[in-house]
A and B are shown apart, each in its own frame.
Chain A
Amino acid sequence: MTDSFVFGEALVLGLSSGPACLASCGPVLVPSLLAEQSGMRLGARYLSTFLGARFLGYLLFAAVAWELGVLVALPPAPRLLLIGIIHVLLAGVLLWYAYSLGHPHVHSCPVSELVTIGVERKRGISGPAALGFLTGLSLCPPFVIAGVRAAQLHSVAAAILFFALFFVGTTVWFLPLVSLGCVRRNEAVTTVARMAMVLIAVYYFFLGSAMLMGRNVYGH
């Protein structure tokens, strides 16, 4: 009874903090999704890869944090360091992704292109997977709340289940983004999306670097 209450709490926590998760992942997810090819199926494929990788990031962090018992006790300085590293990595992946979308040969195999002449090749999943995984680790406020609650549970399995249900709750808020697949893609849309990715990457890089150097970005 207590367990079901706790897991119900995880689901409700995910549902209630979903908009914050969406806001937190939006700068990474929306432009990279818009830069992809159009179509509901492709949009759904991209989103599920991103969310799946994000889920893996959640679980990995939950398991490690519970095992080490550091999630709650993590002092602000190392936490900033961790977030800083993740931001720099996110910036790197975003830049690479924005570049590779304009240069299809970067993530294509020449041999496969030879055998698919005239057919538009499907893009790989490494880009959305890397972005999803890193956002899964990025310690956004709802994630920390869930982490604190999960750390109080009696076993690592329970902590992982708690995170899984929390993830299901937040995912509901991401589903409408599949409709971005319906946006007609042309040169304008993909260029705008790629430019936005570069801009966001620059910001994340600055934010991450400032954190790594111990600077307070909001210290006016």
Chain B
Amino acid sequence: MATEARILPPREIAPRSIVRSALLTLPIMLWSLLIFSNSYQQPNPSVLLAGIITPVFMTALFFMMMRTSSTYRWRRWFFVSLGLLFPVGFIHQVMVMRGSMGIPMEEMIAGRTPFCFLPMPLLILPAALTKTVVFPGSILPGGGMSGGGMAAMAGLWLAITIVVGKGWCSYACFFGGIEEGMASVPRRAKLWKIDPRWRYGPWAILLAMVLLSLALFEPAYCMWLCPFKAVSEYVAAHNTVGMVQNGIFVVLFAGLVIVLPLLTKKRTQCAFFCPFGAFQSIFNKTSVFDVKIDRARCSSCTLCQTACPTMSLTKESIAQGMTLMSCMKCGACVDVCPKHAAVWHIKGTEVAVKPERARLMLLYAAWGMAIMFGGTIVAEGLATILHVFV
């Protein structure tokens, strides 16, 4: 009783006016137009249309974030769109270039394998010890279907990561959206008792894959465990081992990205499996943004813990007023807290003094990155679909 008496009343958060919200959205609108300006010179009407729809979509979502002070709800629209449209654009590109979703050995030997960010932690040790990049792609532009090469992808990733840390997994990753969409389908979780030790899964997979990549001289995760191979490119091998590999990809995708998110309302692949997510957690230490729990207002209702899609809040961490290092800065806990005790925070400042300012600074960085990185992928997928109709 005495503890309850010390809890401060909920913080008052008034909605912003339309004019103020529009003014705050203006920089994002200009950034969107700049990023998609290339689309307006395209003769292809579907590309042109996608280049108009995407910046309007991204700007509208940001406007709603400014207007309603809710982050998670609006971000999810973008993130699920990114997750669904990435395979559409990618598979289309693969089919045009190769005529098949399968990647043959000749393509690998020629270094034309498309590079994604997931194998990056697996390449560090072999590169350090042997000066060899154990990925069958090109370091410089020209190789791979993305055309950007590994250097461009790694540079972009590093720049973004230093600022937003594991926010990458909520604003830039083109794989997490499908499971976030699946997790949002059921009203309640059917499977809610999850052993917290599963949270160590990504770290175990990271450790095992880094060591196996060094021992086998191949990106072991891409070869054996990546669930998203099921919706991007499979192993074009006509032998038992190839079948095993493709079988693993499909089973992992069906289990971790479709079934378990539906049952648990969690991003199960991100929370319990993704080694890149574990690697990315380390960069939460470099990022200036984090989420804190204002203990003066927290009533320990644990709604934030239930809402967290990656189990990054525990009773102990809430008592300490912080999230675990696996926090993806998605904003689910901040949105759901009835007392507004879960707040955005800039390291080095006092907790809950000006949380909205911290939120604005994070969102400008994260949304700017989302438009540049994810927005272009959304536009590509959208153009592929529009091409059927236009």
Contacts and interface: CB of A to CB of B under 8 A. Distances in A.
Contact of B204 (A22, A24, A30, A195): A195
Contact of B211 (A187, A195, A200, A218): A200
Interface size class of A (residues with CB under 8 A): 20 to 34
**A contact face: mostly helix, strand, loop, or mixed:** helix
Interface of B: 104-105, 108, 125-126, 129-130, 197, 200-201, 203-205, 207-208, 211-212, 214-215, 220, 224, 235-237, 239-242, 244
A177 to B, nearest CB: 12
Contact of B201 (A22, A34, A195, A216): A195
A111 interface: no
Interface string A182-220: 000001100111111001100100100010000111111
Contact of A220 (B104, B129, B208): B104
Contacts of B220: 203
Given A192-B203, A220-B105, A27 B211 contact: yes
B108 A220 contact: yes
A24 B207 contact: no
Given A19-B130, A24-B215, A191-B197, A219 B239 contact: yes
A23 interface: yes
Contacts of A199: 204-205, 208
A8 to B, nearest CB: 24
A90 to B, nearest CB: 12
Given A23-B214, A215-B240, A220-B235, A31 B108 contact: no
A220 B242 contact: yes
Enumerate the 3 nearest inter-chain pairs by beta-carbon distance, A residue then B residue, closest first: A195-B204, A27-B211, A196-B208
A27 B241 contact: no
B31 to A, nearest CB: 40
A175 to B, nearest CB: 15
A27 B208 contact: yes
B77 to A, nearest CB: 34
